[in-house]
Amino acid sequence: MKVSRKTILNILFMAFVLSFFVTPLGYYGKILLNQIFSFRPEVIEVAEQQQISDYNWKLKNANWEFFNFEKSKGNVVFINFWASWRLPCAAELKSIQNLYDKYKNKVDFYIITDEERLPVEEFMKENKFTFPVTYLIIGERSPLTILEPPSSYIIDKEGNIRVKQKGIADWDNNTIYNLLNELTK
């Protein structure tokens, strides 16, 4: 029995597609696709900006110690809500790591999850992320609307929300760099 070239190509194509569902290649392929189709976030026009009036928000740091968001009052703040098990979050975090590397001494970063420590620490180590992780305390009141992950905010020194991004975004771009350069002067 002779197998046609078309049949072989069809089998190879089906094996390739199937690999996206049952192998690590698929996971990394989906991450790459999410990164390709993520776009830069939009900066909110001055007339449409909202302001945070209350910074009283209890959170936990990477050591599981309580602290208050109030320590960031008067600073430029980047906030991201994420979950290690959500593929778009995993895709977005590389650009957040690049942003953190560039602005870690000028901007307060809150990369916030509501997960337990162990899976988060494993995820951070596996992906070689060094940004600080902040843990959300469920039920604690917040000065911001807690959006479904991935989602983010950039807040200026006066407490104005300059960026409110729902969904995956590419944070490693000139629009965001220019905004942060302006805000951190």
pLDDT higher than 90, residue 121: yes
Are 90 and 15 in the same domain?
Answer: no
Average pLDDT for residues 159-178, to the nearest whole number? 95
Are 28 and 49 in the same domain?
Answer: no
**Rounded CA separation 82/92 (Å):** 9
Are 120 and 140 in the same domain?
Answer: yes
Are 48 and 118 in the same domain?
Answer: yes
Are 158 and 132 in the same domain?
Answer: yes
Contact between residue 40 and residue 173 where contact means Cβ atoms under 8 Å apart: yes
Contact between residue 41 and residue 169 where contact means Cβ atoms under 8 Å apart: yes
Are 128 and 167 in the same domain?
Answer: yes
Which residue(s) pair with 67 in the sheet? Answer: 59
pLDDT band at residue 24 under the 50/70/90 scheme: low
Are 9 and 89 in the same domain?
Answer: no
Are 26 and 45 in the same domain?
Answer: no
Provide the domain limits for residue 141. Answer: 41-183
In tens, the pLDDT along 63-117 reads 999 999 999 999 999 999 999 988 888 889 999 999 999 999 999 999 999 999 9
Total domains, the chain: 2
Are 25 and 106 in the same domain?
Answer: no
Are 10 and 70 in the same domain?
Answer: no
71-104: string of b/e by CB count within 10 Å (b at 16+)? ebbeebbbbbbbbbeeebbbbbbbbbbebbebbe
Are 110 and 158 in the same domain?
Answer: yes
